Structure 1
Amino acid sequence: MSISERLQIFISHTGLNLKEFSIKSAIPYRTIQGYLADERDPGPESLTKLSAQMDMNIDWLLTSEGNMFRSSSSPTLTPDETALLEAYRAADEAGRAALLITAKAMARKP
């Protein structure tokens, strides 16, 4: 998985849209777009901002090693959990309701 893919997962996990993430991280919107398009990788200044402003574990961003967040109170999602969360967030209201009903039904033990 590339840095741009991990950054997309991280942004998705925060629940912020790209503009909100840009403001909160203090990294210009266009710069983040470049990272997500895999046009360039974050430099030392942006890595410092991601760590300080967003609690991102830079080792995870660069190597996939360790937890997504520096603080231990934030759990790391598995790729399947991330995919489910992204599908839920991308769905309309009816789709979200259907996903919740399905997940609850599948979680029931016989």
Structure 2
Amino acid sequence: MSISNRLREVIEYKGLNIKAFAELLNVPYRTLQNYLLNERDPSAEVLIKISDVLKVDLNWLMCGKGEMFCQSLEHRLTNKEKDLINHYRKMSNDTQIVFDITFKNLTEK
């Protein structure tokens, strides 16, 4: 499957038409049409914009590997990891510094 096919898949999944997709990305309609017709490959800048705006995984968009959309880090964390992050965020800056140093020393041994 080509990038143009994957772009079509994203447009369809998001329920957009070509015009709305072009406006969302701030890309000329005709340029997007050229991408979809496989007459032109999107620039790296456009691919990054698609990834940023629509949270499309770049690896999937370019190579077809992995999932269509980026999974946020929060979805990949265990409950224990989320709890640790929440506790860390509640610490004062001084306590965070001590924690960072202690954690680094613990993991280096």
**Matched residue of 1:67: which SS?**
coil
In structure 1, the residue matched to 2:20 is 20
TM-score, length-scaled by structure 1: 0.61
1:43 equivalent in alignment to 2:43: yes
User: Are the equivalent residues in 2 in contact too, given 1:27–1:49 (CA < 8 A)?
Assistant: no
Q: Letter of the aligned partner of 2:40 in structure 1?
A: R
Deviation at 1:30, TM superposition (A): 1.1
Aligned residue-pair number: 72
**What SS does structure 1 have at the residue aligned with 2:8?**
helix
In the alignment, structure 1 segments of 5+ residues that lack a partner are 73-110
> Following superposition of structure 1 onto structure 2, how do residues 1-110 of structure 1 map, counting pairs within 5 Å?
1-71=1-71
AA of the residue aligned to 2:25: S
Q: Percent identity?
A: 46
Q: Which has the larger radius of gyration?
A: 2
CA deviation string 1:45-93 (max 9, x = no partner): 1011101111111110111101111135xxxxxxxxxxxxxxxxxxxxx
5+ long unaligned stretches in structure 2: 73-109
Q: Which amino acid aligns with 2:70?
A: R
Deviation for aligned residue 1:39? 0.5
